[in-house]
Each structure stands twice: as structure tokens, then as C-alpha cells.
Amino acid sequence: MDTEAPAIRQAGFQPAPLNHLPGEAPSPGQAFFLRTEDGLRLRLGLWEPEGQATGTVLLFQGRTEYLEKYTSIAARLVAEGFAVLAIDWRGQGMSDRLLPDPRAGHIRDFADYQTDVVEMVVAADTLALPRPWHLLAHSMGGCIGLAALLNGLPVQTAAFSAPMWGLHHPRVPDAVITGLTGTARRLGRADLTAIGTGGGGTYLLDAPFRGNALTGDPLQWARLVAQAGSWPDLTLGGATYAWIAAARAECRRLAALPSPDLPALIGRGGAEAVVSRRAVQERAAAWAGAQLLDLPGARHELMFESAPVAERFMSAVLGLFRG
């Protein structure tokens, strides 16, 4: 990291930590902090191939996530000749948290994430990252990414892993959720962690492997658990009532808008239980340039599923980016 920091400093950014698990080789990437227009400090990560890159992947992570989770994905993309720029969204990872309670997953308005996207694009330009640029977005990052595409994000293609274009809550009617979030707002309690979202714990450390909603692969699960246990300060607990209301409002807003005019890959697991499979289906059907890749048996984490599933998804992603 120290050998690479001068390039970051020359671009005007402050070097930031990038952790690695004990026994693992340090990540060849580098991390840095930048300051947003509204005064928040964000952490970004950069991985570059040794030779000339054939393009750059902008990696949009999901809720509760952090750069370290994606070091293996970044390494795969770098091995294929791409530079990778990833971000810890405001309120999570090593970026500034938004509430006195750092465990709460919170946002006031999903439009605030677009400020982070703008800073990411400015950083990519400042670092002169090679074009064409491509988007790789997971879960909540897929919601942020679709909005960014509609705002003119300058990418040539977009790949989505289990995009959050609707929330999956089969046991709780929409009217009940609307009532709870509305009541919390009227009582001035919207910043509290919503009942049923996990409280102040961390899903990876609290849930057993059997029946988990993320991955059916025990090795990938163990790696994710090891990361959460090693760096608890990077993790998040449940979502606030404000986050739930903002997420639902953004999903409704996006559902009413036309699809972007660019090639896209949309990955969906057959055992998806975090985001709405129906919302993904509806968007894919309305996107003329999109391919829906259904992965039978896969859960939410398509890039961290069993090797055959993850390889099928990543091969499709690389095919899109090269195509």
C-alpha cells in the first residue's frame, strides 16, 4: 500500500486503510478517502492491472457492505485486464456514518447516494482511469446504479447481481410496512432501527449457515463471516425506518421510468429471498438491451455462491464487458 500511495496523493486524495484477513496476501489494491460536497468522508478502493487496462469497472456494493468483501472480485477483473474502482457508500464501511448509532443502516433520501456517485465519477476522471467504463452493481448498488444510469452515468455496459428494484417481504403486507414507517416518521422515530431488520447485530455473525439468505456455499460463507468477525466496525446492523421508506420510494420511482439505452446483464438467483424476483423480472422484460440470467438454486450473493454459479455469472459479466 505504501508504494502505491504517492499516486493517490498526487491526485489529491488521502490514502486509506484496506484490510486483509490473517493468512491472506495483502490486497494489491489501494484505498483512499475523499470529501463530498455535503461534507462527508467516503472511502474508495482502486485496483489496476500491471499493464494497460482495457477499461474500468465501477463497482457499486450493496447495503451493509465494504471494500474488503470484493477484493477477490476485483482481483478477477484485474486479471482480465480491467481497472476497478469501488466505493463504501455513505453510512457504511469506512465511510462516515450518518447517525450517532453507527450500527444503524440509514439514509434520508436515496438521492443522497447520487452525490456519492458523482464523487466517484470525478475521482475516476481525476485518476484518468481508462475507458470504456462499465458498471457492476449488487443489490442496493443495483438500485443506486439504475438511478445513476438514468442520470447519465458514463458507462458502456451495466451488469447487475440481484439488483434491489423491489424489496422481498412476503410475510408483511405493504400496507403494514407503510403504516409502520409513517408512524415512525410522525413520532420522530424514523432514525430508529426497524423491527424485524436485525437490530444492532450483524447478519453474518448472528445467522446460522443453514437456511441463510445469502449463499449456499460454506467456504464463501466462512470467508464472509471471518471478515465480519475481524472488522466489526465495518459492518452494519438493521435498517432504520427512514431507510426502508426511502428504499421503497426509490424502487417505486424507478419502476415508473423507462430503461436505459445500453446493453445490460441482470443476474437473478432461483432461491432469492432478499430482493423482489418479480421486480427484477419486470425490469428485465422492459429493458430492450438487457439479458436476464436466471441461476437456479442460487441465493442473493451471486458472486459469492458455489463455484459453478459464481463462474457462470462472472463469465457472463466479462462477456458483456468485452462485447
Domain ranges in the chain are 5-322
CB 49 within 8 A of CB 30: no
Q: 17, 57, 9, 28: which is closest to 265 by C-alpha?
A: 57
Q: Which residues contact 75 (CB under 8 A, 6 or more apart)?
A: 27, 28, 47
Strands 82-88 and 41-47: antiparallel
Judge contact between 263 and 320, C-beta under 8 A.
yes
**Sheet of 55-60, strand order:** 14-16, 30-35, 41-47, 82-88, 55-60, 133-138, 157-161, 264-269, 290-295
Please give the torsion angle defined by the CA atoms of residues 119, 120, 126 and 131, in that order, rounded to the nearest 10 degrees.
-140
C-alpha grid cell, residue 23: 493468512
5-322 belongs to which homologous superfamily? Alpha/Beta hydrolase fold, catalytic domain (3.40.50.1820)
The model's pLDDT over 37-90, given as tens digits with 9 standing for 90+, comes to 999 999 999 999 999 999 999 999 999 999 999 999 999 999 999 999 999 999
Report the distance separating Cα 46 and Cα 28, nearest Å.
Answer: 9
CA distance 130 to 54: 7
- pLDDT of res. 189: 86
Alpha carbon separation from 108 to 85, 91, 111, 267, 323 (Å, rounded)? 25, 11, 9, 28, 38
What pLDDT is stored for residue 269 in this prediction?
98
Locus of grid cell 457492476: 136
The per-residue pLDDT for 195 is: 83
CA distances from 274 to 10, 77, 189, 271, 277 (A): 41, 26, 25, 9, 9
pLDDT mean by block of 10 residues, the chain; 323 residues: 60 93 86 97 97 96 98 96 98 98 97 98 97 98 98 98 91 78 88 85 94 97 97 96 97 98 98 97 97 98 98 98 95
Q: Where are the alpha helices (DSSP H) in the chain?
A: 5-10, 71-79, 111-126, 140-150, 174-186, 203-206, 218-230, 241-255, 277-285, 307-322
Comparing CA positions, the residue from 293, 286, 279 lying closest to residue 259 is 286
Provide the pLDDT for residue 171.
67
pLDDT score for 1: 36
What pLDDT does 167 receive?
94
Rounded Cα distance, 198 and 137, in Å: 24
pTM, two decimal places: 0.95
